[in-house]
Amino acid sequence: MKFSCEKETLLNLLNIASRAVTGKSSMPLLEGLLLAADADTLTITGYDLSMGIRTTAQVDVVEPGRIVLNSRLFCEIVRKLPQDVVYLETDDKLMTTIKCGRSVFNLMANEADEYPALADVASDKGLSLPQPILKSMIAQTIFSVSDNESKPIHTGCLFEIEGSRLNVVAVDGYRLSVRRETVEGVPGDMKFVVPGASLREIERILGDDDDIVEIFPDSKNILFRIGGTTLITRLIDGEFLNYRAAIPKEFEHEVSADRQELIQCIERVSLIVSEKLKNPIRFHFDGSYVQMSCVTAIGKSYDECPFDGSIENLEIGFNNRYILEALRAAGDEQVKLQLKGALNPMIISPMEGDKYTYLVLPVRLKAND
């Protein structure tokens, strides 16, 4: 193998593909990246047997070939190289020489023949949508994904396609996030659950322009095609929560609030809350104000925030992080708050439409909270 390209081109490929490389594996090859040079294209692949990322770019290929290089070391070398053209050459004994400016490294590569192939995913039935839309759908739900491996199905996001609607849903037992979009050219109704870890990597790869991302699910795996990058990951088997049944249909109270003002107020009251001191925030709705207070071992805090509407004497406790993450994800200037009682969840939704729904379960308050 022999090729050359700009350092930034190579580094960009490495930064993307290395996200799928496992730190330590019983298969040493999986700690490496597969480099394949052919014609005028370099393809770099990372794979941990559950998620694989393959990304390509045009480079100047003198001699085609395939090798595997240790991911951590190769990435670190390229990252430290000067801003110049990188020349990489491998001899018939797999000794790989990397040159850039005055820097020269010699690394022993591995044969590529034993590197496992990524799963084959049929690409005859899928959907496509602008990258910023998928990026926002992931960002506005991923924080609610469970990290409890005893129920694996909830460690991912449910993708549900019904007609021309795409719903992305995440739940962790304490809160529920739903993000909805109208999409075109859908192949028919379908449901699948994508691992949260894979979605976090997809979110990082997705761009902010209007380029299209293509999504192809099959019975066991799913393929995301983002420009010159392909990510393939296993789907999670199981029965996802019936999230529609979990969202209350009727409420006693419905008010609206300035989202940023509400966030700042909760943040101030939360200053005495920590990982060790996880006491809930007490929300006391009284007229057109919500009085917030918290008591922990290090002190007390109090603040209040106005809202549009009126709720008389309702006291309810919430985990500060769950409320804050939902409000930050919402994005709108004004949000709608819907409540029923002290033991019922609060719903955060937009003033118009149903683009998102955030449900947060209350925390039972004690006398000294």
Q: What is each CA distance from 217 to 49, 164, 328, in whole angstroms? A: 17, 17, 30
Residue 184 confidence (pLDDT): 82
**259, 260, 264, 267: CA torsion to nearest 10:** 60
- Tokens 């994005």 -> residue: 331
What are the tens digits of pLDDT across the range 167-180?
999 999 999 999 99
User: Which 3 state secondary structure label does DSSP give 327?
Assistant: helix
**Token duo for residue 33:** 């990246």
The yes-or-no verdict on residue 73 having pLDDT over 80 is: yes
Average pLDDT, stretch 144-160?
A: 95
Task: Convert the pLDDT of each residue in 282-306 to its tens digit.
Answer: 999 999 999 999 998 889 999 999 9
pLDDT at 133 over 70: yes
Are the beta carbons of 357 and 284 closer than 8 angstroms? no
DSSP letter assigned to residue 77:
H
CA distance 195 to 103: 40
User: For residue 223, what pLDDT is reported?
Assistant: 97
pLDDT more than 70, % of the chain: 99
Confidence tier at 274 by pLDDT (50, 70, 90): confident
Percent of the chain having pLDDT more than 90?
A: 85
Q: Which bin fits 163, alpha (ψ -120 to 50), beta or left (φ > 0)?
A: left
More confident residue, 310 or 367: 310
Residue 366 has pLDDT above 90, yes or no: no
Q: Could you tell me which residues are beta bridge partners of residue 4?
A: 60, 87
> Average pLDDT in the 22-51 region?
92
Confidence at residue 122, expressed as pLDDT on a 0 to 100 scale? 85
pLDDT tops 80 at residue 185: no
The residue to which tokens 């290089």 are assigned: 69
How much is the CA Rg of the chain, to the nearest whole Å?
Answer: 25
- Average pLDDT across the chain, whole number: 94
What pLDDT score does 186 carry?
A: 77
- Is the per-residue pLDDT at 325 higher than 70? yes
Q: How far is CA 170 from CA 142, 326, 355, in A?
A: 7, 12, 15
Position 221 scores a pLDDT of 95
* Bigger pLDDT: 79 vs 273: 79
Tell me the per-residue pLDDT of 199-248, one tens digit each, with 9 for 90 and over.
Answer: 999 999 998 888 999 999 999 999 999 999 999 999 999 999 999 999 99
- Look up tokens 């700042």; give the residue: 264
Q: Which pLDDT band, with edges at 50, 70 and 90, does 368 fall under? A: low
Q: Decide: 214 and 228 in contact? Cβ < 8 Å.
A: no
Please identify which residue in the block is written with the tokens 């609607």.
Answer: 165
pLDDT reported for residue 369: 58
* Residues 218, 121: Cα–Cα separation, whole Å: 7
- pLDDT of 110: 95
Beta-sheet strand order (sheet of 65-70): 110-111, 65-70, 32-38, 41-47, 51-58, 229-234, 221-226, 212-217, 127-130
